[in-house]
Amino acid sequence: MQTAGHPLTDTSATSAPGTRIAAYQLTDYLERLGVEVVFGLCGHTVIGLLDALGKSRIRFVTTRHEQTAAHAADGYARATGKPGVLMTHLGPGLTNAATGVANAALDSIPMVVISGDIQSYYHGRHPHQEVNLHQDADQFQIYRPFCKRVYRVDRAADLPRVMERAFHLAQSGRPGPVLVDVAMDVFSADLPVDSFTKVPAPIARPGLDRATAAGIVDALARAERPVLYAGGGVLSGRATAELAALADALDVPVAHTLMGKGCLHEQHPLLLGQTGFWGTPISNDTCRHADLIVAIGTRLAEANSSSWDPRFTFSIPPTRLIHIDADAAEIGRNYPTELGVVADAKTALAALVDAAKGVKPRSRGRLREEIARGRRAFASNWDHQWSSDQFPMRPERILSELRKAVPEDGFIVTDVGWNKNGVAQQFPITVPGTFITPSGLATMGFGPAAVLGVKLAHPDRAAVALVGDGGFSANPSVVATAMEAELPVIWLVMDNMAFGTIAGLESMHYGWSFGCMFERCGEPYRVDYAAMARSFGARGVTIEAADELGPALTEALASDLPTVIQAPMENAPTPTPGHWDINDVYRRGE
C-alpha cells in the first residue's frame, strides 16, 4: 500500500536537507512572539500542530467545547494585553468557536485563531467535515463578519508571511481577532529552515498633536459643566493613570461605559459611575446636563447611551462632543461631533495631561459634594440589602460577601445577567483591569470560560466568575478544563432557577415569563451544580444561609482546587435608571 508522497508533503519521517516541518517552525515562531499558551480543541486537521505544540515550551489548554476555548483565550488577552491564541478544527470546531471569537471582536480584544482545514489538494471535492454548500473551500468565510481579516493558507510557503500579518493586524489599530485557516497538509509540509524570519513591527501609537491637545484642554478648562467619558479603550490602553491625572488637573468629573468600569478608583471624588440603562442617576444626569463631553475609547454604544434618547443620558447637541478613538469609523456614528480625534487612549490622554500643565480651570463650585451626594442617594436605595439575611439571598448580599472576600487586585469576571449589570452599577472596583465583562456581544457563557484564561495569566491573583445559573449551565464542562489545567478558579453561581433578566423583562411587559424559567412538570427545577462540580473532582459548595457565603468564599480562595459555589438567589431586577428603547417595542395582545 502506498502511504507517502501526496502532492505537498512527503510523509517519511525525515525532512529534506535544509528544511524542517512547517508546524515545528510555526510553534518556534509563536514562542518567539511571546505566546505562552494556546487554547483549543483537537480534530484530525490539527494534530500536526498539536504534535509540535506538545514538543514546544508553549502550554496547550484543551477544552471540551471550542466556545470555551475562545472565551478563555479572550480572558487571557484581556488580563495580559497580549493576543489570545486559539486553535480549532474545521467545520464544527470552527463554528463552535465562532460565538467566542465574535464576542472578542465586539470588545476589540486581540486574538489569533489558527484553524486546520481540509487537505489543499482536495479543493472542490468536498471532503469530510468541510462546509462547502455554496462555494468550494469557503468555510473560513464564516468568520468574515467579525474578524479583522480571514486568511486561508493553501501553500506552506505562505504560512510565515500570513502568521506575521495575523499578529500584526490583531494588535494594531483597533485590536480584534484574525483567522488563519490552514490546509492540514501545510502543517506537515517541509519548509526551508528559518522560514519564519519576519516579526510584527513595533507600532508607535497615534497620538495628539500639541495644538489639538491645547485646544481640547482649553475647551475643558473653560467649560462650565464638562465631563470626561471613558470607555474600554482607556482600560485596554492601560491609560487610567493619565485619565486620573487629567481629571484632577482640570477638575472634571468622569463617567464611564460598562467596559470603562475601573477607569478611576472607586473612592475618587470625581467618579460619577456608569452611564445608560443600568447606569447611575448622578452619571446620567451629569452627562445629560454637560456643556462639553470628551469621550475617549468608546463607541457610545446603545446600552450605555440609553438608546441615544436625549431625555436620559446624553443630549448632544446642545452638549458639545469631542470624541477620541482608535477607530475613525466610530466617530460621528450616533452623535454630531465637534471634533473627532483618531488616537490611542494612552498617548492622547498623556498629551492632554501635558497640555493641562499650568492651566487653571474654571471654578466647578460644589461639584465634588454634588457627586458624593448623588452617589450616596442612589446607593441608599439598595445598600441596606448588602447585609440582608434573606434566603434565597438578595443579589446585593452576594456582591457584598464577594467584595469582602476577594482582594482588591483579584479578578471579577462576569457573564450576562444580574451579575454583569449589578456589578457594573454597584460593585466597587479599585484596581484597573480587575473587572472583566462581555459588553458588545454580551454572550451568555463568557464568564465561566473567560475566568480560565484570566487565572492562567495571573496564577497568583484571585479569579472569580460571578455568573447566573443560566450562564453557568450553558457549558459546565469548564469545570473539567479547570481541573485538567490545574486552575483553581471560583464560579459563584447566582442561582435563581431562571434566565432571570429576560424572565423579569417578559414578566414586566407580558405578565408572565414563558420560556425563561427552569421548570420540570410545572415545578421549579434546580440543578445541584455543587454536586456536579464534585463529580468532576472539583470542590462544590451549596449555600444554605446568607452568612455561609463569606466563609465559603474564603475557603475557596485558599484552596488549590477549582470551586463551584451555588448561592440560591431571589430573582430581583437590577435597577435601571436609564432607558432602553426595547421597552417601547413590546406589545401585549389578548
Q: Which of 50, 140, 51 is nearest to 93 (CA)?
A: 140
414 lies in the site for ligand TPP, by CB under 6 A: no
Among 496, 513, 563, 566, binds ligand TPP (CB under 6 A): 496
Q: Nearest distance from residue 133's CB to ligand TPP, in Å?
A: 25
SS3 of 255-304: EECCCCCCCCCCCCCCEEEECCCCCCHHHHHHHHCCCEEEEECCCCCCHH
469 lies in the site for ligand TPP, by CB under 6 A: yes
Among 416, 541, 546, 553, binds ligand TPP (CB under 6 A): 416
Q: Nearest distance from residue 242's CB to ligand TPP, in Å?
A: 33
Q: Which residue's entry shows cell 479572550?
A: 74
Q: How far apart are CA 456 and CA 471, in angstroms?
A: 21
488 lies in the site for ligand TPP, by CB under 6 A: no
- C-beta closer to ligand TPP: residue 122 or 277: 277
Which residues have a Cβ under 8 Å from the Cβ of 434 and sit 6 or more positions away?
Answer: 262, 408, 409, 410, 411, 412
C-alpha cell at 331: 466617530
- State whether residue 49 is helix, strand or coil: helix
418 lies in the site for ligand TPP, by CB under 6 A: yes
Cis, bond preceding 392 (omega within 30 deg of 0): yes
Cis, bond preceding 476 (omega within 30 deg of 0): no
278 lies in the site for ligand TPP, by CB under 6 A: no
502 lies in the site for ligand TPP, by CB under 6 A: yes
Segment lying near ligand TPP (by CB under 6 A), choices 109-117, 119-127, 130-138, 441-449: 441-449
Find the residue with minimal CB distance to ligand TPP: 468
Which residues have a Cβ under 8 Å from the Cβ of 522 and sit 6 or more positions away?
Answer: none
Angle of helix 345-356 versus helix 210-222 axis, rounded to 10: 70
Q: Are the CB atoms for 360 and 220 separated by under 8 Å? A: no
- C-beta closer to ligand TPP: residue 120 or 385: 385
The one-letter amino acid code at 190 reads D
440 lies in the site for ligand TPP, by CB under 6 A: no
Q: Nearest distance from residue 81's CB to ligand TPP, in Å?
A: 26
Among 93, 177, 470, 540, binds ligand TPP (CB under 6 A): 470
471 lies in the site for ligand TPP, by CB under 6 A: yes
- C-beta closer to ligand TPP: residue 349 or 416: 416
Among 110, 177, 374, 468, binds ligand TPP (CB under 6 A): 468
The alpha helices in 81-207, defined as continuous H runs, are: 92-106, 159-171, 184-188
232 lies in the site for ligand TPP, by CB under 6 A: no
- State whether residue 568 is helix, strand or coil: strand
SS3 of 542-565: ECCCHHHHHHHHHHHHHCCCCEEE
Segment lying near ligand TPP (by CB under 6 A), choices 231-239, 253-261, 410-418, 577-585: 410-418
Q: Nearest distance from residue 211's CB to ligand TPP, in Å?
A: 44
Segment lying near ligand TPP (by CB under 6 A), choices 90-98, 280-288, 381-389, 462-470: 462-470
Q: Nearest distance from residue 472's CB to ligand TPP, in Å?
A: 7
373's enclosing H/E stretch is helix 367-379
444 lies in the site for ligand TPP, by CB under 6 A: yes
- C-beta closer to ligand TPP: residue 341 or 465: 465
Q: Are the CB atoms for 110 and 77 separated by under 8 Å? A: yes
Q: Which residues bind ligand TPP (CB under 6 A)?
A: 415-419, 442-445, 468-471, 494, 496, 498-502
